[in-house]
Amino acid sequence: MTADEHTALDGLLAGERSYRKGTIIRAERASSGEMFVVRRGWLFCSMLLEDGRRQIIRFHLRGDLLGGDSLAFAEAPDAIVALTDCEVQLIDKARLGRLFAEQPRLAALLFAMLQVDRVLLTDRLTSLGRSSAKGRVAALLLWIANRAKMADPAAGDRIPVPMTQEEIGDATGLTAVHVNRTMRALVEQGLIARSSGAIRILDTARLSRVANHVPRKERLEPNWLTTRS
């Protein structure tokens, strides 16, 4: 990006906010309200079923944009919850509207990012609908590993997993007991190693086969986007 584009992005920020672990930042069906970028920590989006069960739709880390649905809907389609203590940077939606008119390349980049997000959610839907329990958990662990490395490229091979087994179950459609059994199986088969609050992936190729993982990052095609000097 050019210096002007970096300045334009910085101009979207409208303050910072911190939340404690477990805070419901936005309730499901509440006013859509604010947009923000994750600066530190982990969050997740979720929906409640009529019988009280919860489906975690996606986990969010540093750099993720949340609340974009407020551009189209007055009512929030899901809840946003702080999985850990976290900090976010608020986005001024009026400035964002002006950015689309004044910085069309940035608008195109945001559009492309939304397509990446859509494809990743398609992969997740396929995993939930057609994979075994082991495949679902493996797919989630690979996503966490890849996303954590993007958030902190300097991090080593110890990957934080701050969610409980119940939360992993809510994300994969499994019970906490089934998650525990599946994680033990992945350890016993030499695919991962577990320590307190973290994992290490020992055999990425085999874990990827179990998860039916598609390496989307290596297949990004940004060449359609015009360059600026």
Domains and CATH numbers, the chain: 8-102 (2.60.120.10), 117-219 (1.10.10.10)
- According to the model, what pLDDT value does residue 228 have? 62
Q: Is 6 exposed, middle or buried (0-12, 13-18, 19+ CB in 10 A)?
A: exposed
Least confident of 13-17, 58-62, 173-177, 224-228: 224-228
Count CB-CB contacts under 10 A for residue 127. Answer: 22
Indicate if the pLDDT at residue 218 is higher than 70: no
Q: Which of 12-15's residues contact partners 24+ apart within 8 Å by CB, and which partners?
A: 12/91, 12/92, 12/95, 12/96, 12/99, 13/37, 13/89, 13/90, 13/91, 13/92, 14/90, 14/91, 14/92, 14/95, 15/89, 15/90
- According to the model, what pLDDT value does residue 156 have? 76
More confident residue, 227 or 57: 57
- According to the model, what pLDDT value does residue 133 have? 96
Name the pTM for this structure: 0.89
Confidence of residue 185 (pLDDT cuts 50, 70, 90): very high
Task: List pLDDT tens digits, range 72-114.
Answer: 888 999 999 999 999 999 999 889 989 888 988 888 888 888 8
Count of alpha carbons within 13 angstroms of residue 228, beta-carbon side: 10
Confidence of residue 209 (pLDDT cuts 50, 70, 90): very high
Q: Share the mean pLDDT of the chain.
A: 91
Mean pLDDT (whole number) for 45-73: 93
- According to the model, what pLDDT value does residue 49 have? 93
Q: Percent of the chain, pLDDT > 90?
A: 62
Indicate if the pLDDT at residue 126 is higher than 70: yes
Q: Percent of the chain, pLDDT > 70?
A: 98
- According to the model, what pLDDT value does residue 105 have? 87
Indicate if the pLDDT at residue 62 is higher than 90: yes
Confidence of residue 227 (pLDDT cuts 50, 70, 90): low
